[in-house]
Amino acid sequence: MTASNGSVRLAGKVAFVTGATSGIGRAMALRYAREGATVMVVSRQPNPYEGGDPTHELIRKEGGKAEFLSLDVCDAPAVDRAVDAVVERYGALHIMACSAGAIGPMGDSREVKIEDFDRCMAVNVRGIFSCVQAALRHFVPARYGKVVAVSSNFGMVGVAGLASYCTAKAAVINMIRALAVEYGSSGVNINVLCPGSTKTALAAPLHRIKEISDKFRAATPLRIRHDDYQAEPVDIADAALFLASDESRFVTGSALVVDGGWSAI
């Protein structure tokens, strides 16, 4: 999709998209590339969980610009090195989009191993903080930058059996608010997306449980595409495009919920 004047919305921009090999991050990377951005497809492994061509290869096949960067977002020094190398190579970084995440331990919270709780925080919270920190070191002097962090609507409500994940996702929302306040006067936009249930490898095990899928179906006001209560990854990517584009110039510290109204009830 192009803007009303026919131009692409991210022409000339360089985007670093974590978790971009699969699911929501993959859809975001594709969306950004189709809008003219050069995309760093960042993840631990190049192949999509859902199968198909690796994201960076798909982008190149379509005539876009992308490269794959192998990175564990839990490794903060490696994150710094990767972001600095991108700026060195391309002359600038404009968009930091953080979709890398994992659901963490599920079930009775009394049984959760504390190291699994820590791992959930490391991927979902510290990973985003490191990536945003590294990006801000370039965004603030440039007086331009777009941060698009991915949290969840589970960061706004309590969900039984998912205390670690809910804690992590709530932390991301307030981290982003705090950073938006801290860097607002620098001309940097820092926002967070809160997707609802989306058809990806991460959500699949949860939604194979009939009791859970029935509950979600009943509680999603905006059932789209033949009574389907789950979003497609592209539904989240469309919102992520807005937050990465200049159309969001007066939006910062905002948590944009894309869940078909599930958390509005």
Ligand X SMILES: NC(=O)c1ccc[n+]([C@@H]2O[C@H](COP(=O)([O-])OP(=O)(O)OC[C@H]3O[C@@H](n4cnc5c(N)ncnc54)[C@H](O)[C@@H]3O)[C@@H](O)[C@H]2O)c1
Residues at the contact surface with ligand X, assessed by CB under 6 A: 18-19, 21-25, 43-45, 49, 71-74, 99-102, 123, 127, 150, 152, 195, 197-198, 200-203
Q: Do 97 and 17 contact (CB within 8 A), yes or no?
A: yes
In whole angstroms, the minimum distance from the beta carbon of 30 to ligand X comes to 13
Cβ proximity to ligand X: between 8 and 207 the closer is 207
Q: Do 232 and 199 contact (CB within 8 A), yes or no?
A: yes
Cβ proximity to ligand X: between 3 and 157 the closer is 157
**How far apart, in whole angstroms, are the C-alpha atoms of residue 158 and residue 153?**
10
In whole angstroms, the minimum distance from the beta carbon of 29 to ligand X comes to 10
Cβ proximity to ligand X: between 140 and 156 the closer is 156
In whole angstroms, the minimum distance from the beta carbon of 174 to ligand X comes to 16
Cβ proximity to ligand X: between 7 and 45 the closer is 45
In whole angstroms, the minimum distance from the beta carbon of 214 to ligand X comes to 16
The set of catalytic residues is 165
3-state SS class at 121:
helix
- Taking Cα atoms as reference points, which of 4, 55, 24, 11 lies closest to residue 238? 24
Helix, strand, coil content of the chain in percent (nearest 5): 45, 15, 35
Residue 247 corresponds to which amino acid?
E
**How far apart, in whole angstroms, are the C-alpha atoms of residue 123 and residue 119?**
6
